[in-house]
Every structure is written in C-alpha cells, then in structure tokens.
C-alpha cells in the first residue's frame, strides 16, 4: 500500500464507512493529512481540538462553501496533502452514497496527484446505526489517478466485498441500535415496534425475530437490502398517514456565520409535508437546505441564516429519508 502513495502534495479521496476512517488511512501512510470535516465535528468537545491541531478544513454539510474550496487549494499549493470524503457522511448501509455536487470539478482542478483510498471492513466493525463495536478485518486499497476517475475506484459495496471475503465480525449486543435502521417490522409492517437489546431484534406486535449474525447480516441480508424495504414501507406509510412521529428532539440553533448559539429547546419530534416540527416550532420544508445526518443521533440543516441541529435517539436516519421522499 505504501509504495502506491506519492509524496505530498496530493489530494486523497476516500469512501466513508466508519467515523474513524481518517485514522485508518493515516495509519497506512507516512505523511500527515489535512482532512475536510463537517462543521459540526469541529464543534464537538472531543473531536474539535484534534481537528484544529491537525489543520483540518471546516465545511458546512449539505451546502456549497467557497471558503472551504479555497482552503483546500491553499493547503495543496503550500505542499500539503488534503483528504476528503466525497459522500460527506458515513454510510448507513454499506453502500456508497451520493457525491456532493462540485466534487468532481474540484478533483479535476486540483493540479496534484489524486490518491484513492478504498476502505473495506470499517462499516462491519461498527455499522453507523450500531452501539457496540465488533472485532474484524479492515482492508485499504490505494490507487493513484489524474482526475475524477478516482470516484469509480473508491465507490464499492461493503456487502459485495463481504460476499467475497466472508470475514467474521464478532461482538456483543450486535443488534443494539437497530431501531435507527428498522423503523417498521419487516414481517407485519408495524411502525416503531422493533426492539433490539442483544444480538437479535424482535417485534412487539407479531413477535418476529431478526438476528444480527457474526458476518454482519440481519437475518441473512445486508443492511442495503433491509433499508430498501424500510424505505418502501416508509413511502407507503407517508401515503396513508402523511406524517411521522419520531420521539423526542433536542434542538440547538447556531448562527451560520459565526457558530454562536441563538436558541435551544426540546419537544416531541414530528415530520410531515409541511416541515419538521419540534414542540411548537415548525421548520418549513421549503426553507430547509442541505439536510443531512450527523454522527448517528443528529439531523442537521441550514434554515434561513442559521444551522439547526436536532438530536434524536433513534430517528435521525428516519427523518432524513422522510425529507428525501417528500422532496423527490
């Protein structure tokens, strides 16, 4: 792997399977990298300091940011190496996500070697929805490119890779947190009846059980297959009921320009075609920009001149998919 990575400057482009992907990559190469990271990560009490010390580049998720682009080019011109994840967020299901608009153009204009890092196994050591880690193998393949062809290299399915490897990823309470992914019972279709305390989930209505095995599969299926069915059930649920209730939400609103907190509150979290409501506050659907998930418990979006972050224990991915279905 090492001999395929040139000396700086270069732009490193990687798929995003695990929150610790930057650490996995830097363990395999010899030079420091300035990573492009979400603004919310910089505001985290436990991640913000190391990011700032490593000259990482801040970007607001989901919306264009010319300042971030300038900072990337400046770092490359100074002879440094910059790392970015074109998906902008860790995968929920082991598949490559959508590439942010403009990433290909940025890659093609960088005028430095493009290093691709294709990471496999990271997702299976701790899926984004999960609470507990598993022990298992992580593999990283490096390649050097001249343009955005690197995107074809890095984007691959964790599940296709696992079919060829059949590696074991063993750990305790492997199903813990599955409620973040399984909003409906796959058997009876009931909403929010899944509980997952150990290595298996169960439905409180029909009593069906769903085992998360040592290979990462849920009842023999990859999470990509599970999510596809959940989205179909969600689409049908929206057509029937036009809204979802998503537990409790804790809201922090910050100024977009300086990050200062302007409001905090909490309340019941609902979403319908008009928008996202927490308590008495409605965030209108037509005014929401760049909605995305952050870590596993947060929904984040730009609203007017502010950045809104909603903390919800099990519903961030649910709200994100509801938003996508309503806007499609």
pLDDT value at residue 49: 57
Percent over 70 (pLDDT), the chain: 93
Q: Which of 47-61, 82-96, 101-115, 270-284 bottoms out in mean pLDDT, i.e. has the lowest?
A: 47-61
Residues contacting 83, CB < 8 A, separation 6+: 11, 12, 13, 14, 22, 25, 33, 34, 35, 36
What is the average pLDDT across 155-179? Answer: 97
Domain boundaries, the chain: 2-165, 178-240, 242-327
pLDDT of 67 higher than 70: yes
Query: Crossing angle for the helix pair 316-327 and 223-241, nearest 10 degrees?
Result: 60
> What per-residue string of b and e applies to 211-246 under the rule 16 or more CB within 10 Å gives b?
ebbebbbbeeebbbebbeebbebbeebbeeeeebeb
What is the average pLDDT across 153-165? Answer: 96
User: Tell me: the pLDDT tens digits for 88-137?
Assistant: 899 999 999 888 888 999 999 999 999 999 999 999 999 999 999 999 99
Q: Within 10 A of 303 (CB to CB), how many other CB atoms are there? A: 18
pLDDT of 40 higher than 90: no
pLDDT value at residue 98: 85
Helix (H, G, I), strand (E, B) or coil at 236: helix
pLDDT of 42 higher than 80: no
pLDDT value at residue 323: 97
User: Tell me: the pLDDT tens digits for 214-266?
Assistant: 999 999 999 999 999 999 999 999 999 999 999 999 999 999 988 899 999 99
**Going by CATH, does the domain composed of 2-165 fall within 3.40.1130.10?**
yes
Domain 242-327: assigned CATH number: 2.30.29.30
pLDDT value at residue 48: 57
Percent over 90 (pLDDT), the chain: 83
């Amino acid at each position: 792997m090492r001999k395929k990575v040139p000396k700086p400057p270069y732009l490193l482009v990687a798929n995003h399977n695990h929150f610790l992907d930057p650490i996995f990559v830097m363990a395999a190469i010899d030079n420091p990298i300035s990573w492009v990271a979400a603004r919310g990560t910089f505001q985290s009490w436990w991640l913000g300091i190391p990011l700032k010390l490593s000259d990482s580049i801040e970007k607001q998720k989901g919306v264009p940011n010319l300042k971030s682009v300038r900072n990337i080019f400046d770092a490359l011109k100074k002879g440094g190496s910059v790392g970015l994840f074109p998906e902008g967020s860790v995968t929920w299901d082991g598949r490559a996500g959508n590439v942010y608009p403009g990433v290909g153009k940025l890659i093609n204009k960088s005028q430095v070697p493009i290093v691709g890092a294709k990471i496999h196994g990271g997702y299976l050591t701790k899926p984004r929805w999960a609470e507990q880690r598993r022990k298992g193998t992580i593999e990283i393949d490096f390649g050097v490119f001249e343009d955005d062809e690197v995107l074809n290299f890095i984007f691959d399915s964790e599940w296709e890779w696992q079919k060829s490897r059949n590696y074991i990823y063993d750990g305790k309470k492997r199903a813990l947190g599955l409620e973040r992914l399984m909003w409906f019972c796959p058997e009876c279709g009931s909403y929010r009846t899944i509980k997952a305390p150990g290595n298996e989930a169960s439905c409180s209505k029909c009593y069906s059980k769903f085992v998360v095995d040592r290979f990462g599969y849920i009842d023999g299926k990859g999470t990509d297959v599970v999510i596809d069915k959940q989205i179909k059930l969600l689409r049908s649920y929206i057509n029937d009921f036009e809204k979802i209730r998503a537990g409790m939400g804790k809201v922090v609103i910050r100024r977009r320009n300086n990050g200062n907190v302007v409001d905090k509150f909490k309340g019941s979290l609902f979403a319908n075609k008009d928008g996202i409501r927490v308590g008495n506050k409605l965030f209108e659907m037509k005014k929401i920009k760049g909605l995305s998930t952050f870590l596993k418990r947060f929904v984040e979006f730009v609203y007017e001149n502010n950045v809104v972050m909603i903390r919800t224990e099990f519903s961030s991915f649910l709200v994100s998919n509801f938003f996508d279905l309503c806007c499609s």
